[in-house]
Chains A and B, each alone.
Chain A
Amino acid sequence: MTRAPLVALLAVLLALAVVPGIPPFWITLANNIGLAALVTLGLVLLTGVGGMTSFGQAAFVGIGAYTTAVLTTVYGLSPWASLPLVLLVTGFVAALLGLMTVRLPGFYLPLGTIAWGISLYFLFGKLDLLGRYDGIGGIPPLSIAGVSLASPQAMYVVIWLMVLAAFVATGNLLSSRTGRAIRALRGGGSAAESFGVDRARTKLTVFIYAGLLAGLSGWLYAHLQRSVNPTPFGLGIGIEYLFMAVLGGAGHIWGALVGAGAIVLLKDLLQRVTPMLVGADLQMEAVVFGAIIVIMLQTARDGLWPRLVALYTGGHHRQLAVPQADSPLPPRPAVAPGLTRRLLEVEAASKNFGGLMAVKQVSFGVSAGEIVVLIGPNGAGKSTTFNLITGVLGLSSGKVSFDGHVLADASPRQAAALGMARTFQHVKLVPDMTVLENVALGAHRRARAGTLRSLLRLDRAEEARILADAARQIDRVGLTEHLSKPAGSLALGQQRLVEIARALALDPRLILLDEPAAGLRHFEKQALAELLSKLRAEGLSVLLVEHDMGFVMGLADRIVVLNFGTLIAKGTPAEIRTHPAVIEAYLGGTE
């Protein structure tokens, strides 16, 4: 993002630390904001970026706080020595809970988080080891080289250093290979799956990461307060954390800071103002929070942060330089010379949907360096055939093999690994990622950097190669001038080209296009046809599903025609054009 707000934030933080005469109460508020921002940062990643909602993050804070409380008071560990154990325990619990829910439809996770949020809260209050509802006191303060960090002012420095480190690391993560996979989860992530992203594993990674940030916040909290009890880890607080993310803007990491700041300050204000207005402690802040969240959801679902950014930048986005790299990504090994068999072989493929045969005994093949087009009227079974080849659907019977490998049932990731790259009939790009990042997602399988390397920014050399390759693919489809725009801001024709560039970034042997000409203008279709001819000339194989006969006639080497799930004709465009069965299928019977 833009640098100026960050500089302003640092200035305020520094001022609070060094300007004499700052009321201690301000420091306390700043500490609370920092602790909440850590938890909310995890939630932003989970909810806004990854599309998962949790009301149970307060429980992870509790696990972190209680773990260090027990380790330091019962077992006499030093606070610093307990930190890795705190992260281990919260990470382990998060992994357990995550394994149970990440495969489920969206609403099971939040319901599950409510259930274990309550369970863990009750557990904190019932266990003798954790001091039941009285909690644990006498937790030692942090110290560095014998100097105690017991004062709120000293803790302020520790907390905010950690908050800033967490924000920087999370920013690194999001602009990395793993980060692109996370950001592609929203909207289902089936496109990401087709480029080799393991959806369930990526979700689990985010879930554990969010749990770790909450655990870290709990560790800081325990050594700030020097005592713990169940109250701040209840479901109500977990709900508050989620509201911070929603209010700040769950789609962007700085939204976490804005949301945490806004809610902590507002809560403090309301708690001081309401008794003056109504003369009693009525907890009216909960009503105000509830109303604010509902109004936000009704009128500004993206939260405050995008609005603040728009105010500051006037809605313009930064132009990125075209990325360069010293060395290219390793290319896919060439096909063994003298290969005579076809690249893709579909043999008697059938698909049965609950008694309805959508595809019946369809056989055809695609050789290296040719364009094959699958056509047929609406409902002919083209998309089903396409999904059988790309591993989105499993075969009922028959066989699909690619480059000599038989495809296992329903595995888009295997199809990607073998070198099949696809586009989607309904464009599936991540609209708020740039064109460059969307295309880079296509190269996911060609790189290796994991979460840890991304967090620590050790992935930069490889990342530069990925981005340089993505830029090259964008150039191949002629979109270099749109490289740094959000993909969602492009016209449909351009978005289809971005999908083709993303497919090319996989370094495929075969590229499968699902109705790429639908909704394109005449000149766009011509450009697309030229691009596909060019790719064929470079040795790539292309399989198209298409409706538009005019578009395919001049382009295809061979055409395969389906109707009612069966193959009715195969041949060159000239043969197909005069084929009586094809004419009848397209113009209708003579009834």
Chain B
Amino acid sequence: MDATILLFLVQDGLTNGAIYALLGFALVLLFTVTRTIFIPQGDFVAYGALTYALLRAGHLPGTVKLLAVFGATALAVELWSRRRDLTPGFIATQCATKLGVPLAIWAVVAVLGAAPRPVLLDLALTIAIVGPMGPYLYRIVFQPLGGATVLTLFIAAVAVHIALIALGLAFFGPEGQRAPALIATSLKLGPVVVSGQSLAVYATTILLTAALSAFFALTLRGKALHASAVNALGARLVGIDTHVSAKIAFALAATIGAVSGVLIVPMTTIYYDSGFVIGLKGFVAAIFGGLGSFIITGIAAFSVGIVEALASFFASSFKEIIVFSLIIPVLLVRSARSHHGDDEDH
């Protein structure tokens, strides 16, 4: 192996690592705000990737219909839970947010049809289609489980994951998709050729990370989300609706998933069930950070990407095994540090 190959592998690793970092952030955000270990995060990646690829190719992605199904189910759950004090105003708002939004998105995509569009418009449409799935799933599955233990929420998340895989097959079919590179040109830096796609990934990661940091540091809503994560009862005492915080966290996670899918689908063929393994690499990073630290998660994500790139060169058939075995030293370190194990009441 010479330096050129090494540089190429590192670049490849950093590109993938950037995507794992985004996913890791989403997982940490969801865990801190809602205590949910959100196994289906990777499925949002697959949904985003396939939706974007089909939009690029001028097709109507099946997720448009699926979003309407989720919206209608969430509406039914919401109306049922409030069946004792329904008011016309409440019903109207709920219909608008849970039925009107998906139908409007469907209409827009249908009207735009097969005409070629700018990349950014397709990205926006992808986010509009996949993003709202997060809060709808929260309303249907996780909100009624309020007060449940982390393990119960975990099992529910796994149930959601297997359902999303099956729905992915039903709405996308078994064929894989691949999209053209986001930026077709490439950049030559001395001996290194940085592809436009990699640049797009780096730029998007930096932009999204900066936007998330600004949201948490500067806006009152962001602080409210942070507060819900730090102390849910304290947040409720000052009047913050923690369900709204949770829905925002789920919307952000689904959006990050969708964007990650758009970033990844020009680099590899994505199938309806490809997302899980990608999301799991975000988990490996998030576990490094104890599901609490954004900074460690970010660093770990890039390490995972580089280890993976090197493994694919030296021992390609054992790539996945090596990456997932990374979790073992993390568990060992955490196990050595904890003397008693936490007293998890419940």
Do A and B interact? yes
Say yes or no: A290 contacts B159, CB within 8 Å: yes
Q: Cα distance A51–B343 when bound, in Å?
A: 12
Say yes or no: A187 contacts B345, CB within 8 Å: yes
Among A51, A108, A283, A290, point to the contact of B169 (Cβ < 8 A): A283
Q: Map CB proximity to A onto B316-346 as digits: 1 under 8 Å, 0 otherwise.
A: 0110110011011001101100111111111
Q: Which of A120-178 contact B (CB under 8 A)?
A: 122-123, 126
In the bound complex, residues from chain B placing their C-beta under 8 Å from that of A123 are: 318, 321
A323, CB-defined interface residue at 8 Å: no
Say yes or no: B163 contacts A118, CB within 8 Å: no
A80, CB-defined interface residue at 8 Å: no
Say yes or no: A290 contacts B324, CB within 8 Å: no
Q: Map CB proximity to B onto A164-206 as digits: 1 under 8 Å, 0 otherwise.
A: 0000000000000000000000011010000000011000000
Q: Map CB proximity to B onto A238-279 as digits: 1 under 8 Å, 0 otherwise.
A: 010011001000000000000000000000000000000000
In the bound complex, residues from chain A placing their C-beta under 8 Å from that of B317 are: 126
A341, CB-defined interface residue at 8 Å: no
In the complex, identify which listed stretch (A293-301, A353-361, A483-491) lies at the interface while the others stay far away: A293-301
Closest A residue to B336 by CB, please name it.
A103
B95, CB-defined interface residue at 8 Å: no
Q: Cα distance A284–B277 when bound, in Å?
A: 21
Closest B residue to A193 by CB, please name it.
B340
A447, CB-defined interface residue at 8 Å: no
Given A116-B324, A282-B170, A188 contacting B343 (CB threshold 8 A) = yes
B105, CB-defined interface residue at 8 Å: no
Q: Cα distance A114–B284 when bound, in Å?
A: 11
Q: How many residues of B contact A (CB 8 A)?
A: 52
* Chain B interface SS verdict (over half): helix
Closest A residue to B320 by CB, please name it.
A122
In the bound complex, residues from chain A placing their C-beta under 8 Å from that of B154 are: 53, 107, 110
Say yes or no: B145 contacts A242, CB within 8 Å: no
Say yes or no: A119 contacts B320, CB within 8 Å: yes
Given A119-B324, A293-B156, A286 contacting B162 (CB threshold 8 A) = yes
Tell me how far the C-beta of A270 lies from the nearest C-beta in chain B, rounded to whole angstroms: 11
Say yes or no: B155 contacts A188, CB within 8 Å: no
Given A101-B331, A200-B341, A287-B167, A242 contacting B162 (CB threshold 8 A) = no
Q: How many residues of A contact B (CB 8 A)?
A: 49
Say yes or no: B321 contacts A297, CB within 8 Å: no
A106, CB-defined interface residue at 8 Å: yes
Q: Which of B151, B152, B159, B320 gathers the greatest number of chain A CB atoms within 10 Å?
A: B159
Tell me how far the C-beta of B272 lies from the nearest C-beta in chain A, rounded to whole angstroms: 10
Closest A residue to B331 by CB, please name it.
A100
Q: Cα distance A387–B161 when bound, in Å?
A: 43
B47, CB-defined interface residue at 8 Å: no
Q: Cα distance A201–B92 when bound, in Å?
A: 57
Q: Cα distance A9–B318 when bound, in Å?
A: 46
Say yes or no: B320 contacts A105, CB within 8 Å: no
Q: Cα distance A122–B155 when bound, in Å?
A: 23
Closest A residue to B343 by CB, please name it.
A188
In the bound complex, residues from chain B placing their C-beta under 8 Å from that of A110 are: 37, 151, 154
Tell me how far the C-beta of B150 lies from the nearest C-beta in chain A, rounded to whole angstroms: 5
Q: Map CB proximity to A onto B146-185 as digits: 1 under 8 Å, 0 otherwise.
A: 0011111011101111110111011000000000000000
Among A103, A126, A289, A410, point to the contact of B338 (Cβ < 8 A): A103
Given A287-B163, A289-B159, A104 contacting B320 (CB threshold 8 A) = no
A111, CB-defined interface residue at 8 Å: yes
B144, CB-defined interface residue at 8 Å: yes
Say yes or no: B155 contacts A283, CB within 8 Å: no
B25, CB-defined interface residue at 8 Å: no
In the bound complex, residues from chain A placing their C-beta under 8 Å from that of B283 are: 111, 114
Q: Cα distance A115–B327 when bound, in Å?
A: 7
Closest A residue to B141 by CB, please name it.
A294
A112, CB-defined interface residue at 8 Å: yes
Say yes or no: B166 contacts A287, CB within 8 Å: yes
In the bound complex, residues from chain B placing their C-beta under 8 Å from that of A106 are: 149-151, 344
Say yes or no: B325 contacts A188, CB within 8 Å: no
Say yes or no: B325 contacts A119, CB within 8 Å: yes
The 8 closest A-B pairs by CB, nearest first: A290-B163, A286-B166, A293-B159, A188-B343, A115-B327, A290-B159, A119-B324, A115-B324
A-B contact pairs, 24 of them (CB 8 A): A51-B344, A53-B151, A99-B335, A102-B341, A107-B150, A107-B151, A111-B37, A112-B328, A115-B280, A115-B284, A116-B324, A118-B324, A122-B324, A187-B344, A187-B345, A286-B163, A287-B163, A287-B166, A290-B162, A291-B159, A297-B145, A297-B148, A298-B145, A301-B148
Beyond A116-B324, A239-B162, list 7 extra A-B contacts (CB 8 Å): A104-B331, A114-B283, A200-B341, A283-B170, A287-B170, A294-B140, A297-B156
